Amino acid sequence: MRLGSAPEDFIWAVGIEDTFVPQTRRGHRALDEYELVGHYAHWREDLALARKVGARAIRWGVPWYRVQPAREVFDWSWTDQVIPYLVNELGIVPIVDLMHYGCPFWLEREFDNPDYPRAVAAYAAAFARRYRDLVHWYTPLNEPFINALMCGKRGEWPPYLSGDSGFVRVMLQLARGIIETVNALKQSAPGARMVHVEATGLRRILQDELRELALLEQHRGYLSYDLITGQITREHPLFQWLLEHGAGAQELEQLARGKIALDAIGLNFYPQWSTRQIHLDAQGRLKYRLVEKDGAGFSELLQDFYTRYQVPMIVTETSAFGANRLRARWLAASVAAIKNLRAGGVPIHGYTWFPLFTMYKWNYRRGRLPLERYRFDLGLFQLNTQEDGPRFLETPLVEQFVSYVNNPKEAVGDLRTR
């Protein structure tokens, strides 16, 4: 798989939701999306759906906590079956999520453990040595911002830190882990390429006096990329904020000295949840609300990230929730936006409908209701809950997605080279 400019080079991809938060505590259930949807048992059938829609690539994650059950112990028995089947039998390129949130049980305090960066890099190196003939594309860590939000600021996932100081503490650890992981991968598999995937969003304001706050929040969305590429200097808009919330000037300088280059960035955007308006209510209190649920800012966001980082880009997650006609409208609109951007020279090399099939909402972890009450149908296929029939049912979006795959010139056009 290469990042070329011709329509035939465009990477049509899908992904399987692979959030792993296996740790439990009182009131919190384990959240392993593979377990909940039955992927561990039905992986052949599940992966075949990617072939059915003509996907060239798939975002697929490794459950670190299962493949490394103890610090010096690896169990590759499941991945030894899945990865060769995916590559050799289906002919699909895996973009492997090495870290999709969860840490293994033996790593006490998870991301807050000083040994986390070394531990995750050692796991990545072991994986790369084993599969370097089959896997060439990696995501070192999916969505650093969401990790830092859920594990640091909100305290909903381990290590259960809270506030902006918790956010900063986790984010710095994640950045160290990404840098060490990339270095380990490049050493263990010199041909490895990285797609650094981040959750993205836009901030709008209702009142002009909130402009500086919106700008600050927008820069937090860049933070993971800025940290790993050495852009957090004393002149950076977030430098003082980072110091105020626990970062040390020397550790920021150390991170900057260890900077890495970005092979490609992957942007995750969901039209109904990725754009928020900041406003003051009637009592003058700060409030947030979701706006532009049609994804109107999608093109603006992609252009913004390219202008800032000047590297190849892939849309690594997008989809929509609701009636099939609404979801089909977003599929058409988002692909059309990519075509327009490519015609203007913005190097978007791939598009990922995510997830490929039914997933379960994250609030299952803190809930008490039966699993089926947390079902979330964003995919091209929907889980069949009837006793008879196939495991998954096609939605009308399958035919639409396949039509784009089969007609890339019409769908996304040529990438204008500058």
Q: What is the pLDDT of residue 388?
A: 86
Burial class (CB in 10 A: 0-12, 13-18, 19+), 114: exposed
- What DSSP string runs through 244-280? HTT--HHHHHHHHHT----SEEEEE--TTTSEEEEEE
Taking 90 as the threshold, does the pLDDT of residue 206 lie above it? no
What was the pLDDT predicted at 282?
85
**Res 298: pLDDT:** 97
Minimum mean pLDDT among 43-52, 281-290, 360-369: which range? 281-290
Q: Is the pLDDT of residue 306 over 90?
A: yes
Please, which pLDDT band fits residue 284 given cuts at 50, 70 and 90?
confident
Residue ranges of domains in the chain = 7-411
Q: What is the pLDDT of residues 308-336, one digit of tens each?
A: 999 999 999 999 999 999 999 999 999 99
Instruction: Give all strands (DSSP E) within 335-402, no chain letters.
Output: 348-353, 359-360, 375-376, 381-383, 392-394
The tens digit of pLDDT for each residue in 11-58 reads: 999 999 999 999 999 999 999 999 999 999 999 999 999 999 999 999
Average pLDDT over residues 130-142: 98
Interval 234-251 mean pLDDT: 96
pLDDT in tens, 368-392: 999 999 999 999 999 998 888 899 9
Strands 313-318 and 348-353: parallel
CB 166 within 8 A of CB 152: yes
> What is the mean predicted confidence (pLDDT) over 172-199?
97
CB 15 within 8 A of CB 58: yes
Q: What's residue 58's pLDDT?
A: 98
Mean pLDDT of the chain: 96
pLDDT reported for residue 398: 98
Is the pTM higher than 0.75?
Answer: yes
Q: Is the pLDDT of residue 281 over 90?
A: no
CATH class name, domain 7-411: alpha beta
